Amino acid sequence: MKYTFPENFIWGVATAAQQIEGGITEGGRGLSNWDVFSHIPGKIEGGGVTDVACDSYHRYEEDVALMKKLGVKSYRFSFSWPRIIPDGCGEVNPEGIAYYRKLIDCLKKNGIVPNATMFHWDLPYALQVKGGFGNRNMTGWFKRYAEVLLDNFGNDIEYWVTFNEPIATYVGNAKGFFAPGLSDDAYARQCCHNLLVCHGEAVKLFRSRNFKNAKIGIVVDVWKHYPADPENAEDVKTAEFSNEIEGYGMFLNPLFLGGYSDILTRYMEENRLTPEIQPGDFDTIRQKLDFYGMNFYNVLIDDTRKTGGKNADGSEGGNFQNRPESHTELLERVLSETVEKYKIDIPVMISENGLPQHNDPDREKVLDDQERIDYVKSVLKPLHSAISHGIDVRGYYLWSLMDNFEWSAGFEARFGLYYTDYETLERIPKKSAGWYASVIADNGFEE
């Protein structure tokens, strides 16, 4: 069977500044919360730190050349807030502006559409010391940062994303294994609420500029849980908790429906976790968007009889990269239910999707990544079906262009189409790179 995607479908790759740039003290850049967190012993698998990462700060032209070779239509990257404003709220760093100007110009010269995220988890450490997103002043600080980006790059970027996966702010403040490493559920929920207000303020600022060619959206990852037995109350309760109380529902409900769900509201009230909400906050949060980015990796089936009341992977919550099962065949159902439940009437992008390989000293095993090809096929098939049944999905971004710093997994999880040799910083194509290039060239694939 031939899976052919719509004309003008956007095939892309995705990265993030913190994960690939390195150069953490070069060119006037300030430290981020993840720079500091990665240096705390025991926080990162394998002891990886972000100081060099993939050195894309110096090698961006080489990386754009890799994209050109793949034939990608669009590149999803992120700005580093501490590279733009080193202390988060003070003087703008001209060297940071110049770096991203060169990157964007290089992309456009090579016919690659920029898709840029304002915030992909790397908060200036100077603002973290001031309370991070738990400090309501963050709404002003972030708005000023967004203004600097729009003033300098405005119409040069076709797709703007305010925030990537805001769940990471919850995990970092409530669960402790992401930066900043706190374990305070009430504080984490205040952080998430303030973050959503920041998003709304940035969208309002964007609209005030009347850009002709630019669009704006947000990326919220959906790791949907289903009960293994819909008649089993514990399975249902576990899935509901993971979706609505500690998952995507925390964000999609206020973003698209104008408030927290009844389930979440009741839970926060009963557990004294309700954030301070100022008048007008939900009106600010619920701004009309141009597109919604869904990061999709997995579907989880919660069988509490097997896991003793915990989630499908045996954990007690949060989103993780390594899963015992994929259930990617359920993507069409996930898309349909998400669009219907949250009344999403704008185009959707699959803004991230990929598969980790565990680091292996035998490089050839990593380069021969047929498992990644099979996994991506298992995602593209239901995605193709969803589009054919009327769900307005405009693009797919594979995570990631190259192996990089994968947060608490460090350099031990390899998601790249290109293998990164972290000693020489050479990028070496994996089997999947050639396959994905053929998918892009053919606008689909044949089984």
Decide: 397 and 381 in contact? Cβ < 8 Å: no
Residue of 201, 246, 332, 352 marked active site:
352
Residues 143, 125, 13, CA angle at the centre, nearest 5°?
A: 70
Decide: 396 and 296 in contact? Cβ < 8 Å: no
Decide: 264 and 250 in contact? Cβ < 8 Å: yes
- Active site annotation includes 165: yes
Residues found in the chain? 447
Q: Is 318 left (phi over 0), alpha (psi -120 to 50) or beta?
A: left
Distance from C-alpha of 399 to C-alpha of 402, rounded to nearest angstrom: 8
- CA 301 to chain CA centroid, nearest Å: 22
What DSSP string describes 177-188? SSTT----HHHH
Beta bridge partners of 281: none
Decide: 170 and 191 in contact? Cβ < 8 Å: yes
- Active site annotation includes 95: no
The phi, psi pair for 6, rounded to 5°, reads -60, 150
Decide: 356 and 365 in contact? Cβ < 8 Å: no
With tokens 């309002």, the residue in question is 204
Span between the terminal Cα atoms of the chain, in Å = 5
Residue of 21, 165, 201, 244 marked active site:
165
Contacts of 189 (CB under 8 A, 6+ apart): 170, 174, 268, 273, 274, 275
Contacts of 279 (CB under 8 A, 6+ apart): none
Distance from C-alpha of 78 to C-alpha of 340, rounded to nearest angstrom: 29
Active site residues: 165, 352
